[in-house]
Chains A and B, each alone.
Chain A
Amino acid sequence: MIASRLKTVRAVVVTCGAVAIMLIIYQWIDKQLGRTDYYTGFTLLAASIGLMTLSMRKKLIVLPLGSVAVWQQVHQYLGLFAVATFMMHAGFPVHGILETALSVIFVLISLSGSVGWYINKTTPRKLLAAGQAVLREDIATMRRSIAQQAYHIALTAAGKIESATLADHYTQRLSDFFSRRRSIAYCLVPTGRSRRELLHGLEKVSRHLGPEGRSCKQTLSELVIAKDDLDFQWAMQIRLRSWVIFHVSLVWSFFILVAYHIYLVYRYKGG
């Protein structure tokens, strides 16, 4: 834990040092009446290309290029450096339609990168807290199995007078929960609200149930918890994979606009 924190501190110090050196050179060029925008622009381009190397590294798994975790960390701090360079380059407010579009895409990439950083850091811990990790491809099968179990319990309960209320409750409140996937909103921000509401509903029904009915209710409650845990695992894994798609997709647009931006800069450069 201490070693990990030391690594983080070291990385932050190195990043801040790089930004400081960048600032010093910036001010020196500015005092020399040099083109600071060229300096920051090409530094930003170099940093962006450096950030791109992570995905290349991921594809070149056969080459001994160090662990992906190290590359990931370098990518994160290089991203921070790129944000600082971008602020020096673009300034505020940003003028021009093309420049604004370029800036918006850069900001979106940075935000998605930050979100990814957060997701990458927190998801394993959350998945661990939610129980045994399950492969995403198996979740649908397991969910179906749980739904079938719940259906059979509800069917059993419906055949008895003392637990008919439980069957009605299943039909009204639980059937949809077991048979359907969760919403996109749940994917983005998975919460335990539905789970709590459903468990609370089952508790309220239990006073109308006999001993066997209560036993069925208990089994249904366990199935609600199991289904919600699976949904949580599914949501976390979907989120973990989806942000990367968004992050990488924007990068392509970004580089196309950067190329056009550089062309325009040289096309209309002063002199």
Chain B
Amino acid sequence: MSDPIKRYRRPDQQWKCGLQDKGVLCTAGPDHLHRCSNPNTDQTCHPRRTLIWWRRYLPVAFAAITVAILITTANMPTHREIIAPGPLTLAHAQLISNPQDPHRCSACHSDDPSSNPSPNPSSTDVSASSNEHSTSPTSDQPISQVSEAVLAKHSQSDRCISCHSRDMPHLAIRSAHDLPVDVLDEMTAWVKQRAKGTPSTSMPVVLVSAPAAANNNLQDQPEPMALATGVDATTLSQTEQKKNGNGNERATSSSNKASNDLACSTCHREHQGPHHDLQAIASSRCQACHQESFKSFANGHPQFENYPAPKQSRIAFGHRKHQDSHFTKTSTAFDCRACHVDTNSRSNVGQVFRSLSYETACAKCHDGSIKSSVSEGAIVFQVPSIDVEGLAKNNAAISKSLSEQWPEEASLMLDGKIPPLMQWLLMGESEGSLALSGLDLSGDLSKLRLDSQADRKSLVSLATASRMILEKIGNSGQSAFAQRFVSNNGQSVAPFDYGIRAILRGAPPDLFRTAFETWFDSSKQIGKQWKLLKPGTHLSDGGWMIDKNRLSISYVPTGHADPWLASVLESANDLLEADRMRSDSNREQNEIRKVFIAKQLLSAQGVGQGIGRCAECHQSIAQTNSTVTQIALQGQAQDRWRSKRVSTATRSLTKFDHGPHLIQPQLQSCIACHAFNGEQPKYSIHSEFANIKIEQCASCHHPQAAGDQCTQCHNYHASQR
């Protein structure tokens, strides 16, 4: 304090003399209240702040302003917009469109972090899950409409799953590729074996049932799914049993916990802007879990096995045979695109389909032969040719009226066979069944002997039943006839009932009445003047007719995909399948005949008389006791006729789009990739094409050309609706 000027030179003073900047030397300086303390000064002095003051208090001011701004914004309606780490992607933003919605954040985030359950809700107790089910958000319920209390119980990933499970029902498993941990272990073991060069089996395409979704209280039980990945179905089944059994497999399997706790945000990062690609992921991250890591697609990626995997189809088709035989005969170019490319629709692999419609792909060549094969029509009813006079001579108890009214054209001798469809109709009558019991399975009348009393009895029953069929349908209609196939307790006797109904479907009862009056009521004098007409020319566009020439009621199919013919064949197929499912081998004669007739109908010769030749291509409808029939029976009855199409909702582990590939000049010929392997397919599940080699793809798929990211060809989430 001895040198006041020196004191002012000290840098720790927060206030200085107000005249200092004017060069005035002050001997006192400001006092502790920052006032001028120099009584001798003759100038007005206002002490001023030094840089030290600013250094001390400016940061405090900045901090105070920052806190004030945060507190202010916390009470603003747009608070959530301010704290959001970035805009949502368009897909998510439009779901939560109102920026001032108080539940905007809680649609995806829990408001109370401490209330978050375990990362995986399916690891919780099943009973608890089921109890919570009623209060859980479902895939049908918009997340914004779910109460806060319910949402607070679920983690962020659960909330993702609650919306996305509709498209990916196995998300709830929350493990790699949405596969159960046991399945992953199985696959890992297989890959390890392959790495050692000792794979026990090739990775098969199997049907997989999704188990774990049952444990998730956010999910409904999903449909069975198919995966294009190889795992043993038995293993999957065991997994399912384990999960259903204790409902807590994941919790008890600590070794698998890590791979079963994958949060959606591990890969999908939100709040990166409206146009951010949520599915984008670096290929290096894909290899985090995979046993076989490799440098790039061209360098180290495992060779394709059985790719593209032959898919089960219901249509028998041989490419090689068509190219070498049929197309060569007609001098037609064998152009793959003509049958496989449809620019108006889209499949899982682009605008390329395994098969297009019959009209597009097949009609040009096959329409003629199909029309020709159906021109004679299918005989539904035919007056049996019976030697009525011979019967009477042999004292058969044939009624006089029947004897007199039996058509003259059908009274000469025992001849012909009972058509299969008529045999089915006869089996619907007790008298008819009696008649058929004396005939062999083919219904050959010529094998009957008039000197045999049993045969004579059968013939009389046949005549009576035949007349009765016409009369009953003619007078009482189809329902009266079909009523016979309803049991005492009102239950339908399916599938035979279904078969009879299929035959009578569309058959006009009036036609039966007219036929009855024509053949059995001479007083009406109907049809005496009718010309003899050929079914093919009389009914060029198909329909029902009384065939005077053959004394029959026939149906002429309209051509390919005739609904009546399809219905009859489906009923035959059902009957065969029902018979196959029977565990006992004891069958009555009638049942044996039904099966025999069904097989006759489904044979390559068609409905008894080579009608339609349906089974030549539609083998799935014709075969039984095989995988083929299992394929055929999937879906609706009419689906059995169609080539099985892979649903666009299917997400296998691999994906492919023909579109960008077909643009390449060197790939415009399909054979560039799909070369024949020299084998003729026995059936559609056997491929006649050689496997595609990885080198074929790698020539373009490298970083400098078409890219070689994993996600270009692989789906992470694999499922099928």
User: Is there a chain A Cβ closer than 8 Å to B354's Cβ?
Assistant: no
Majority SS of interface residues in chain A?
helix
CB contact under 8 A between A252 and B267, given known A137-B20, A145-B23, A245-B54: no
Query: CB distance A140 to B20 under 8 Å?
Result: yes
User: Is there a chain B Cβ closer than 8 Å to A270's Cβ?
Assistant: yes
Query: CB distance B67 to A256 under 8 Å?
Result: yes
Which A residue sits closest to B6, measured CB to CB?
A137
Bound: A260/B70 CA distance, A: 9
Q: Which residues of A contact B (CB under 8 A)?
A: 27, 30-33, 93, 95-99, 135, 137-138, 140-145, 147, 181, 238, 241-242, 244-245, 248-253, 256-257, 260, 264, 266-271
Enumerate chain A residues within 8 angstroms of B289, measured Cβ to Cβ.
33
Query: CB distance A99 to B265 under 8 Å?
Result: no
Q: Which of B22, B87, B267 has the most CB of A within 10 A?
A: B22
Which A residue sits closest to B120, measured CB to CB?
A271
Interface size class of chain B, counting residues whose CB lies under 8 Å from the partner chain: 35 or more
Query: CB distance A264 to B266 under 8 Å?
Result: no
Query: CB distance B86 to A99 under 8 Å?
Result: yes
Query: CB distance A144 to B54 under 8 Å?
Result: no
Query: CB distance B21 to A138 under 8 Å?
Result: no
- Which of B8, B66, B81 is within 8 Å of A253, CB to CB? B66
User: Is there a chain A Cβ closer than 8 Å to B285's Cβ?
Assistant: yes
Q: Which residues of B contact A (CB under 8 A)?
A: 8-9, 20-25, 51, 54-55, 58-63, 65-67, 70, 81-87, 105, 109, 113, 116, 119, 155-157, 262-267, 271-273, 282, 284-285, 287-289
Query: CB distance B58 to A268 under 8 Å?
Result: no
Enumerate chain A residues within 8 angstroms of B105, measured Cβ to Cβ.
268
Closest 4 CB pairs of A and B: A144-B23, A95-B86, A270-B265, A252-B63
Bound: A93/B60 CA distance, A: 30
Query: CB distance A99 to B85 under 8 Å?
Result: yes
Enumerate chain A residues within 8 angstroms of B262, measured Cβ to Cβ.
33
Query: CB distance A271 to B23 under 8 Å?
Result: no
Shortest distance in angstroms between B465's beta carbon and chain A's nearest beta carbon? Answer: 75
Query: CB distance A245 to B58 under 8 Å?
Result: yes
Query: CB distance B113 to A266 under 8 Å?
Result: yes
Enumerate chain B residues within 8 angstroms of A250, measured Cβ to Cβ.
62
Shortest distance in angstroms between B244's beta carbon and chain A's nearest beta carbon? Answer: 26
Shortest distance in angstroms between A129's beta carbon and chain B's nearest beta carbon? Answer: 24
Query: CB distance B271 to A135 under 8 Å?
Result: no
Query: CB distance B66 to A256 under 8 Å?
Result: yes
Enumerate chain A residues within 8 angstroms of B265, measured Cβ to Cβ.
270-271
Q: Which of A250, A252, A260 has the most CB of B within 10 A?
A: A252
CB contact under 8 A between A256 and B70, given known A95-B273, A267-B113: yes
- Which of A143, A257, A260, A270 is within 8 Å of B23, CB to CB? A143
Shortest distance in angstroms between A180's beta carbon and chain B's nearest beta carbon? Answer: 11
Q: Which of B25, B86, B87 has the most CB of A within 10 A?
A: B86
Enumerate chain A residues within 8 angstroms of B156, measured Cβ to Cβ.
269-271
Query: CB distance A144 to B24 under 8 Å?
Result: yes
Query: CB distance A252 to B66 under 8 Å?
Result: yes
Query: CB distance A98 to B85 under 8 Å?
Result: yes
Query: CB distance A97 to B82 under 8 Å?
Result: yes
Query: CB distance A141 to B58 under 8 Å?
Result: no
Bound: A82/B22 CA distance, A: 44
CB contact under 8 A between A241 and B272, given known A33-B267, A260-B70, A271-B265: no
Query: CB distance B66 to A257 under 8 Å?
Result: yes
Bound: A95/B81 CA distance, A: 11
CB contact under 8 A between A137 and B85, given known A270-B157, A270-B263: no
Bound: A194/B361 CA distance, A: 92
Enumerate chain B residues within 8 angstroms of A270, measured Cβ to Cβ.
156-157, 263-265
Bound: A238/B25 CA distance, A: 20
Enumerate chain B residues within 8 angstroms of A271, measured Cβ to Cβ.
116, 119, 155-157, 263, 265
Bound: A135/B23 CA distance, A: 13
Shortest distance in angstroms between B717's beta carbon and chain A's nearest beta carbon? Answer: 15
